[in-house]
Amino acid sequence: MPKLPKPPKPPSYSEVRGTVQDNVIWKSIFRPGSIYRKGYRDTSRDRALAAMNNVLYHLHPVKVKRHGLKLTYTYCLGGLSFFMFILLTITGIFLMFFYTPAAGAGAEIAYLNMRELSTTVTFGALVRNLHRWGAHAMVFLVFLHMARVFYHGAYKPPREFNWVVGVILLLLTLFLSFTGYLLPWDQLALWAVTVGTNIAGFSPVFGDQVSFVLLGGLEIGPETLLRWYVLHVLFVPFITVVFLAVHFWRIRKDGGISGPL
Amino acid sequence: MSDEVQMDQEVYDRLIGEGKSERIARAKAKAAAVRKSKIEEGATLGPKPAEEATKALEEFRSSRSGGGGVATKTAAPADGGGGGRLTPEERAARVSASLGNGGDSGSVGVPAASDHTHRLLALVPPAGIQQVQSKQQDKVYTWPHLLLVEFVALLAAGSLLLVASFFLDAPLGSLANVNEVPAINKAPWYFMGLQELLAYFHPAVAGITIVGAAVLLLMSLPYVDKNPSAKPENRKFANMAFTFFLAFWGILTIIGSFIRGAGYEWVWPWVQGLGFVL
Ligand code: HEM
């Protein structure tokens, strides 16, 4: 009987990893020091490089104050506000595929879309819920973040201006949430927004103009829906991202997180 | 490429023998060949010797001193090998010396004969650009410490939200109808404090004046609070005032959200239900 050749030994995990990591493409993606690059060792040098040669270097320095890591210092509130913002962006994009901001007698498309979202669209209800609860959570987290910053006196020099940027972010967050509130075009949305926008009409001097610009007419109607849709999905998020960038940049330029107390 | 560099075969063979990869051996062998040819041409390699730098500095000083520049003589002597900070002029001189021109190109850091289109605008000490903490601090590496904490927080918050979204459905009422005012008519919860104020004041007062003042006060807070201390025991008044501020809005929000019913009348939640939709 002829001797069969031995079957080739399957490559070991480290061999596979070596082959995957040791080539031009992989090395072009993962910069020196990346934990995914061949030869990463858990040394001070590589830890520093891992932060420095990472896109997150735009947000984080190589080293941070030890006390800032304690959960009870930031309670992760700013970070979680940002996480909610990202989550809302992702779920919001999903919702945009199934939503048309159109209303009016005989063409209540927006409201119909909302119905379909919870009945026929795969994962539609889940994603809508995520978007809705995430929005409430973000507003709440931003409030809490502001309170934590206050009680730590973290707005004191040199961080005064970042507090001001923060207050603007708070207003933007409220406006983002409020413009989204109208979009389902149900009774709840219509009347909650009516209560809110009536107040704007009482601003001194330009009251009528303000509400006209906000509503796109004398009262809430299909024009308002389109207007608020554009504000909600494009304009306000864009402004928010700009202020977020300034907020994060200032945290680093002001010497990182404040404290310890 | 026209000026293909020859490599030093001897070095290449040695490196291959040592088990280096072909790419690295080739690069190192080429570098060795270049070094060798430079030495043959009589060039000195490595950092410029100290005397040369000092000489360039001297030349630089004499070329500058007539030009009306401010002559600061406060820094460490230029010839001293040890310690002392360099003045900006000295640093510029070192830079120009190491760039290989003792002379003055009219712009700091750019060799006279160069056709570079960009130039160093200024040499600024780091402390001039950003806050530099000279004090040693208790710090840890961002990777892995901070990033792991953030990742866990993200997973925890994400899964909490996912579970909530799985079990609780977002409300969707009947189609909007401008002619049918609902019995219970409320703003989103974060505006309920405001709506509650409207029950007591004219909108121009509650909606515009009070809210406008609150926002302005909040924005100007860091400039109003001049107390430099962040310790709670040193800022009892500030903490108390802010707690009152939060409690004020919190109580208004709770009243508005839960204790108001049809027609915005005061109704206890156990009488008519919560009358509140998120
Ligand atoms: C969209 C809303 C916001 C986001 C995403 C956000 C994000 C962050 C993050 C990630 C930090 C790092 C420290 C931490 O997590 O606590 C931070 C710090 C800070 N935030 Fe915000 N923030 C927001 C709104 C606000 C608001 C409303 C205020 C105040 C009115 C504020 C004032 C500050 C200040 C002063 C710091 C520095 C704190 C320190 O150094 O300890 N931010 N923010």
Return the CATH number at B230: 1.10.287
Average pLDDT of the segment spanning B235-254? 95
pLDDT band at residue B241 using 50, 70 and 90 as cut-offs: very high
Per-residue pLDDT tens over the stretch B43-87: 777 666 677 778 888 887 787 665 444 444 444 444 444 456 778
Q: Are residues B67 and B90 in the same domain?
A: yes
- Cβ of A251 under 8 Å from any chain B Cβ? no
Q: Are residues A140 and A74 in the same domain?
A: yes
Contacts of B145 in chain A (CB under 8 A): 64, 69
Domain count, chain B: 3
**Of A46, A62, A85, which closes a domain?**
A46
| Distance from the B138 Cα atom to the nearest Cα atom in chain A, whole angstroms | 6
Q: Are residues B69 and B42 in the same domain?
A: no
The pLDDT assigned to B84 comes to 61
Cβ contact B170–A132 (<8 Å): yes
| Distance from the B79 Cα atom to the nearest Cα atom in chain A, whole angstroms | 35
Q: Partners of B140 in the beta sheet? A: A64
Per-residue pLDDT tens over the stretch B205-232: 887 888 889 999 999 999 999 998 889 9
Per-residue pLDDT tens over the stretch B176-189: 988 888 888 888 99
Q: Are residues A153 and A40 in the same domain?
A: no
Backbone angles phi, psi at B139, to 5 degrees: -125, 155
Which candidate from A130, A191, A196 shows the least CB-CB separation from B182? A191
The token pair at B167 is: 């079990």
Q: Worst-scoring range by mean pLDDT, A71-75, A84-88, A163-167, B227-231?
A: A71-75
Residue B54 lies in a domain: yes
Separation in Å, CA A89 to CA A218, B23, B90: 31, 45, 52
d(CA A47, CA A43): 6
Backbone angles phi, psi at B260, to 5 degrees: -120, 135
pLDDT band at residue B116 using 50, 70 and 90 as cut-offs: low
**Of B62, B84, B112, which closes a domain?**
B112
Residue A224 lies in a domain: yes
- Per-residue pLDDT at B111 exceeds 80: no
pLDDT band at residue B104 using 50, 70 and 90 as cut-offs: low
Residue B71 lies in a domain: yes
- Per-residue pLDDT at A164 exceeds 90: yes
Q: For residue A237, is the peptide bond before it cis, meaning its omega torsion is within 30 degrees of 0?
A: no
Q: Are residues A109 and A29 in the same domain?
A: no
Q: Are residues B60 and B36 in the same domain?
A: no
Q: Are residues A214 and A144 in the same domain?
A: yes
Residue A9 lies in a domain: no
- DSSP secondary structure letter of residue A31: P
Residue B41 lies in a domain: yes
Residue A37 lies in a domain: yes
Half-sphere exposure of A83 (CA within 13 A, CB side): 19
Residue B149 lies in a domain: no
Does the beta carbon of A232 lie inside 6 Å of ligand 1? no
- Per-residue pLDDT at A186 exceeds 90: yes
Q: Are residues B26 and B66 in the same domain?
A: no
Ligand 1 centroid, distance to B192 Cα (angstroms): 24
The token pair at B111 is: 């060799």
Percent of chain A with pLDDT over 90: 52
Q: Are residues B209 and B266 in the same domain?
A: yes
A131 within 8 A of A92, measured Cβ to Cβ: yes
Which residue range(s) make up the domain with A25? Answer: 19-46
**Of B77, B95, B112, which closes a domain?**
B112
Size of interface A-B (CB pairs under 8 A): 213
Among the atoms of ligand 1, which is closest to the Cα of residue A152?
41
| Distance from the A2 Cα atom to the nearest Cα atom in chain B, whole angstroms | 39
Which residue range(s) make up the domain with B38? Answer: 1-46
Does the beta carbon of A149 lie inside 6 Å of ligand 1? yes
Residue A64 lies in a domain: no
The pLDDT assigned to B133 comes to 55
- Per-residue pLDDT at B101 exceeds 60: no
The pLDDT assigned to B77 comes to 44
Average pLDDT along chain B: 80
Contacts of A155 in chain B (CB under 8 A): 221-222, 225
Ligand 1 centroid, distance to A252 Cα (angstroms): 12
Residue B243 lies in a domain: yes
The pLDDT assigned to A195 comes to 84
Per-residue pLDDT tens over the stretch A25-54: 998 998 888 888 888 888 888 888 888 888
**Of A46, A61, A87, which closes a domain?**
A46
CATH number for the domain that contains residue A149: 1.20.810.10
Domain count, chain A: 2
Residue A231 lies in a domain: yes
Q: Are residues A27 and A121 in the same domain?
A: no
Q: Give the torsion through C-alpha atoms of A218, A213, A202, B189, to 10 deg.
A: 100
Q: Of all protein residues, whose CA lies closest to atom 28 belonging to ligand 1?
A: A166
Q: Are residues A148 and A29 in the same domain?
A: no
Q: Of all protein residues, whose CA lies closest to atom 41 belonging to ligand 1?
A: A258
Average pLDDT of the segment spanning A5-31? 88
pLDDT band at residue B131 using 50, 70 and 90 as cut-offs: low
pLDDT band at residue B130 using 50, 70 and 90 as cut-offs: low
The pLDDT assigned to B273 comes to 77
Measured over the CA atoms of residue A218, residue A223, residue A228 and residue A231, the dihedral's sign is: negative
Q: Are residues B34 and B58 in the same domain?
A: no
**Of B95, B112, B129, which closes a domain?**
B112
- Per-residue pLDDT at B121 exceeds 80: no
Average pLDDT of the segment spanning B267-273? 83
d(CA A192, CA B257): 12
Residue A177 lies in a domain: yes
Residue A7 lies in a domain: no
Which candidate from B142, B228, B235 shows the least CB-CB separation from A51? B142
Looking up tokens 């030869």, which residue turns up? A39
- DSSP secondary structure letter of residue A234: I
Residue A60 lies in a domain: no
Q: Are residues A26 and A141 in the same domain?
A: no
